[in-house]
A and B are shown apart, each in its own frame.
Chain A
């Protein structure tokens, strides 16, 4: 029958000739190939010491961003939690008190912000849903752990370090 796509190829299986039936030439050729591979460059990257460069659209661990003055951007609107297909994000909102303006940009902020890294599928929908550009998946690989509860990351692990602290760190390093 004529194939509809016109791309069908009919492969003819010829009976093997004597040398092919002997197996041995094919085996020797294969062994030559594997032997040559022993002297090729190894592809291994020694992981903990050396890290492979991530691609540009790599999505890793989440980070909650701060603005130029070091204030948390998140306003606890809950859009990220709503958009999350894996339902990995939960948060508790709180109102900003007087004297906390240097900590939180908006009048409402997330007092508790938790992402369950075992549920997260790193789809990046939270990133897209966020109206305040507060959450980005620009971190490294989420490390392994022993207990399930340790995979629920709170603000202590998610929020970016404050700029002042970063500067202090840099100064200390210099």
Chain B
């Protein structure tokens, strides 16, 4: 029993790892395609049909390029930076339920690596840890642009974490649970949390953009001012690790947003579909729905990137501290009042 359990979990981890890597790799391709389409171009189309082999080509390029460690850099921390960024970006996906329990070979397998009862806080902790990769890498580069990027990254992440946490608290008032599994089960068929928490979702979305360092909040890397910010000195695969970490972060935060606000693997009329397809194929439909939603969110990330210009630094801080935090607090108060009134009625 113990061994079977271990094997099941290891298999799940490996599958999830591969899926995450694939999605991250193809996000780089999709990003370039989406950018091209929005600018009336065609994008990568030479490597394979529709340029589908482009991620492989890019990966090969990253692998075989010369690695340069600047002589003034702190060697160990210089290597630790991108490794840490990649590591922390992977950690988040462990608690996300990708589907209902599925029946495989006469066994019920939950499609979630682990369900810890403080799952949302865990995600929060992992996100807050993610900034270390940027900070350590930026500092170890021994370059003022990198240092500026690192410092911007740190202050931005800390500022937006507060608003993010407050927006989640309002959600928790509605759902009464910190476990992702229960959260997903509560949003059965069409009872998605977005209906109860539209403002909270908006705040969370903006903060997710800031936490993943995506445009319009990409001030830590900011090509025009900081020539790449924290990855100025990075080359070859370490640069690739940072880039990959960004795309994995995007995938994980999309998955978190889908699970928190958009019903996770739930979709309308899922009971009828499940009854029709049985306990093996029914949950698989849910899994594909989940991934469809995630891909839509990743597309949304890209769509915003190629539309909205970057914030100025003081605007970023103003938005975080003077707009989002008061809004989130107001959201908590309103939610609390509504819940109390509804309970009394």
Is A in direct contact with B (CB under 8 Å) within the complex?
Answer: yes
Residues of A within 8 A of B (CB): 27, 30-31, 33-35, 37-38, 40-44
Whether B42 contacts A42 by the Cβ 8 Å rule is: yes
Complex interface bits, B14-38 against A, C-beta within 8 A gives 1, otherwise 0:
0000000000000000000010011
Grouping DSSP codes into helix (H, G, I), strand (E, B) and loop, the B interface class, with mixed when no group exceeds half, is: loop
The answer, yes or no, to whether B196 is at the interface (CB within 8 Å) is: no
Whether A42 contacts B40 by the Cβ 8 Å rule is: yes
- By beta carbon, the residue of chain B nearest A44 is B42
CA distance A43 to B308 in the complex (A): 22
Inter-chain pairs besides A31-B307, A37-B38, 11 sampled, C-beta below 8 Å: A30-B307, A31-B303, A35-B38, A37-B37, A38-B34, A38-B38, A41-B40, A42-B41, A42-B42, A43-B41, A44-B41
Whether B40 contacts A34 by the Cβ 8 Å rule is: no
CA distance A37 to B304 in the complex (A): 14
Determine how close the nearest CB of chain B comes to the CB of A31; give it in whole angstroms.
5
Determine how close the nearest CB of chain A comes to the CB of B146; give it in whole angstroms.
30
Whether B41 contacts A34 by the Cβ 8 Å rule is: no
The answer, yes or no, to whether B39 is at the interface (CB within 8 Å) is: yes
The answer, yes or no, to whether B306 is at the interface (CB within 8 Å) is: yes
Q: Which of B37, B39, B307 lies in contact with A27, CB distance below 8 A? A: B307
CA distance A35 to B37 in the complex (A): 9
Complex interface bits, B288-313 against A, C-beta within 8 A gives 1, otherwise 0:
00000000000000011011100000
Whether A27 contacts B40 by the Cβ 8 Å rule is: no
Determine how close the nearest CB of chain A comes to the CB of B69; give it in whole angstroms.
29
CA distance A65 to B37 in the complex (A): 45
Q: Which of A30, A31, A35, A43 lies in contact with B40, CB distance below 8 A? A: A43
Determine how close the nearest CB of chain B comes to the CB of A157; give it in whole angstroms.
28
Q: Which residues of A contact B37 (CB under 8 A)?
A: 37-38
Determine how close the nearest CB of chain B comes to the CB of A54; give it in whole angstroms.
22
Determine how close the nearest CB of chain A comes to the CB of B315; give it in whole angstroms.
10
Whether A34 contacts B307 by the Cβ 8 Å rule is: yes
Asked, given contacts A27-B307, A27-B308, whether A34 binds B38 with beta carbons under 8 Å apart, the answer is yes
Q: Which residues of A contact B308 (CB under 8 A)?
A: 27, 30-31
CA distance A33 to B304 in the complex (A): 11
Q: Which residues of B contact A44 (CB under 8 A)?
A: 41-42
